[in-house]
Amino acid sequence: MGEGRRAHSTARQSDVHVRALLRGLAVLEVLAQGQDLNLSEVARRARLPVSTTHRLLETLRRRGFVQPVEDGRYRVGLRAFEVGMGFLRAQRLPDVARPVMVELVDRVEETANLAVRDGAEAVYVLQVESDRMLRLFGQPGSRHPLYCTGVGKVLLAWEPEEEVRKLLGRGPLPRFTPRTLTDPDAVVRELRVVRARGYAVDREERESGVRCVAAPVRDAAGRVAAALSVSAPASRLPNRRIPQVAATVVSAADEISRRLGFSAVRNSPPPAGKIPVPSES
Amino acid sequence: MGEGRRAHSTARQSDVHVRALLRGLAVLEVLAQGQDLNLSEVARRARLPVSTTHRLLETLRRRGFVQPVEDGRYRVGLRAFEVGMGFLRAQRLPDVARPVMVELVDRVEETANLAVRDGAEAVYVLQVESDRMLRLFGQPGSRHPLYCTGVGKVLLAWEPEEEVRKLLGRGPLPRFTPRTLTDPDAVVRELRVVRARGYAVDREERESGVRCVAAPVRDAAGRVAAALSVSAPASRLPNRRIPQVAATVVSAADEISRRLGFSAVRNSPPPAGKIPVPSES
DNA sequence: CATGTCTTTCCGTATTGTAGAAAATTCTTC
DNA sequence: GAAGAATTTTCTACAATACGGAAAGACATG
């Protein structure tokens, strides 16, 4: 920065966006919440004029990204689903992780989740359900805070503290249950524990009655690429059972990491700096 | 310039589309195939000028619908995944169907799929895998032809023949295996059989070595809203086992229909006409 | 260093999206 | 059923905006 003498408008590479497309995407995002909305509600939520919204919706509809449903309401369409699944199709992660997760679920008899980080939130990408239980929460595609979920803590734990602070903000953090940690400092301390023992625990911090245990999945470069978790009703995850479950989760996560090309050999402490090779370039 | 009086003008809301948005969606669709592409490849496949494509990709990236990956390549982004999953979130179908499918998979020990029709293709929306087998084909979000898959035939069988003909075209239909029916007439005959016995069979017509059995799921209005199938290696689905598996699939599909509000009581022949009220859409 | 491929930026132009308002439609309410 | 409210849809004039060719950078390859 430190420039700014372009005559007419700013010449930032940042603002090469196409407004009409941005607005169309905004409409899609509004509908993605999962409720069917009519034109004017979409317009209100997307903060767009009605007639503009109408045009955008019509365009999205023609392409199948949005489908009209009874009563003049709209909902996310099949094509959007298809495109969205393209995300999984392109990643190696889901294919690699799924069989391991099936195995894991078999062992612990509880539902397993795989999540990745997106900014200050975790997004569930894959879920393998135990038949012992109907879904607790967190369908694939849903977002969750980082500081009060097992996967979230894992996704945070190996980030540099400065980054963590930035993501958490200055607090207090929104409280979901009596056990939620609302003080960023407390979270940072907790993350230290997570890092030390190699897995994270969520004791009803996000949702009363639900506990989970999570471990990091690393990619070939050694970065934490995802978090694997097992969640269960608190009654089925008493403290004394946690170490054993955690061991199982960690070993499953390690297996996924291995298959992604990560080799743990030289990195007891996960790779922080560069390789200390004194040879010059 | 007396333009046509809008008096009876056929409300052609057809040409109210936003080109920039259409193009952006086209870019997304290109990437949704699952391969990572660089700018110029995207431009080529989307048939757009490079500079335009660049701008669109940049816009999509800012919103997380596309993510840059190593080597200047792009792939479908997390946000697109989220939005796509909104499709499932909005539908009742997946939530209703999943538990029934889990049960079904438990019974037959083979992978179950749920598909809906989109134009002349079937799109898989839900899959429950048997642990006996690694995925055969057809991940959620993928498209398949109607005339040579179990789910496809089911989705076609209760449509009016005129519609079916239109969807099939004049043939010959693309052949995938030696058993594929390539003649529209043959398909129409086959559909009659499907309708009569209430389920469809695919005997390696799409993929050599893979058979499947499919049955219709009806919504509250009695329409075929989806198709439920079980697929397996041909060796595990010999002819003599098919009737029994089919019965299981049909009963699972019926259960889903029931939970969707369909009551089979008065409709031995699935509702073909409407209630004789001459109102129209 | 030359050459080809690919990405990014620039910029003048007219195409295209925009939004207000009016028309048409649907939903309420009496 | 009629009157009125609240939608959705169409229309239009205007200028903001997206456009795409071309040029300038990157980056690799021979």
Condensed to tens digits (0 to 9), the pLDDT of residues B164-210 reads: 999 999 879 999 999 999 999 999 999 999 999 999 999 999 999 99
The answer to whether the CB of B77 falls within 8 A of the CB of A87 is: yes
To the nearest whole number, what is the mean pLDDT of chain B? 86
The topology (CATH level 3) of B17-82 is Arc Repressor Mutant, subunit A (1.10.10)
For chain A, what is the largest distance between any 2 Cα atoms, rounded to a whole number of angstroms? Answer: 71
CA of A40 to C1' of C1 (A): 63
Among A4-18, A22-36, B252-266, name the one with the lowest average pLDDT.
A4-18
Note whether B185 contacts A: Cβ–Cβ < 8 A: no
Residues of chain B with CATH 3.30.450.40: 91-259
Note whether A25 contacts B: Cβ–Cβ < 8 A: yes
To the nearest whole number, what is the mean pLDDT of chain A? 86
Whether CB of A39 is under 7 Å from strand D: the answer is yes
The answer to whether the CB of B79 falls within 8 A of the CB of B59 is: no
pLDDT-derived band at A135 (thresholds 50, 70, 90) equals low
Instruction: Give the separation between CA B75 and CA B36, rounded to whole angstroms.
Output: 5
Among A104-113, A160-169, A262-271, B34-43, name the one with the lowest average pLDDT.
A262-271
What is the β-pairing status of strands A66-69 and A73-76? antiparallel
In a mutational test of the B interface, the residue from A22, A53, A70, A81 whose CB has the highest number of chain B CBs within 10 Å is A81
Cβ-based contacts under 8 A for chains A and B: 194
CA of B71 to C1' of D28 (A): 12
Question: What average pLDDT does this structure show over B120-148?
Answer: 85
Query: Which tens digits make up the pLDDT trace of A7-25?
Result: 333 333 446 789 999 999 9
Question: What average pLDDT does this structure show over A30-48?
Answer: 92
**What is the reported pLDDT for A272?**
45
Note whether B131 contacts A: Cβ–Cβ < 8 A: yes
What is the β-pairing status of strands B111-118 and B121-128? antiparallel
**What is the reported pLDDT for B135?**
62
Residue of B nearest to A37 (CA): B90
Rounded to a whole number, what is the distance in Å from the CA of A129 to chain B's nearest CA?
10
pLDDT-derived band at A274 (thresholds 50, 70, 90) equals very low
Check whether domain B91-259 has CATH 2.60.120.260, yes or no: no
Which nucleotides on chain C have any atom < 7 A from a protein Cβ? 5-11, 16-21, 23-25, 27
**Contact residues, chain A, for B90 at CB < 8 Å:** 31, 34-36, 75-76
Nucleotide with the nearest C1' to B18 CA: C17
CA of B277 to C1' of D1 (A): 22
**What is the reported pLDDT for B277?**
38
Question: What average pLDDT does this structure show over B97-112?
Answer: 91
Among A241-245, B33-37, B80-84, name the one with the lowest average pLDDT.
B33-37
Note whether A159 contacts B: Cβ–Cβ < 8 A: no
Give ∠ CA A114-A117-A121 in degrees, rounded to 5: 110
The topology (CATH level 3) of A18-81 is Arc Repressor Mutant, subunit A (1.10.10)
**Contact residues, chain B, for A29 at CB < 8 Å:** 79, 83
Residues of chain B with CATH 1.10.10.10: 17-82
**What is the reported pLDDT for B176?**
96
- CA neighbours closer than 13 Å in the CB half-sphere of residue A128: 24
**What is the reported pLDDT for B136?**
63
Question: What average pLDDT does this structure show over B75-87?
Answer: 95
Interfacial B residues in 65-84 facing A (CB < 8 Å)? 65, 75-84
Query: Which tens digits make up the pLDDT trace of A173-226?
Result: 999 999 999 999 999 999 999 999 999 999 999 999 999 999 999 998 899 999
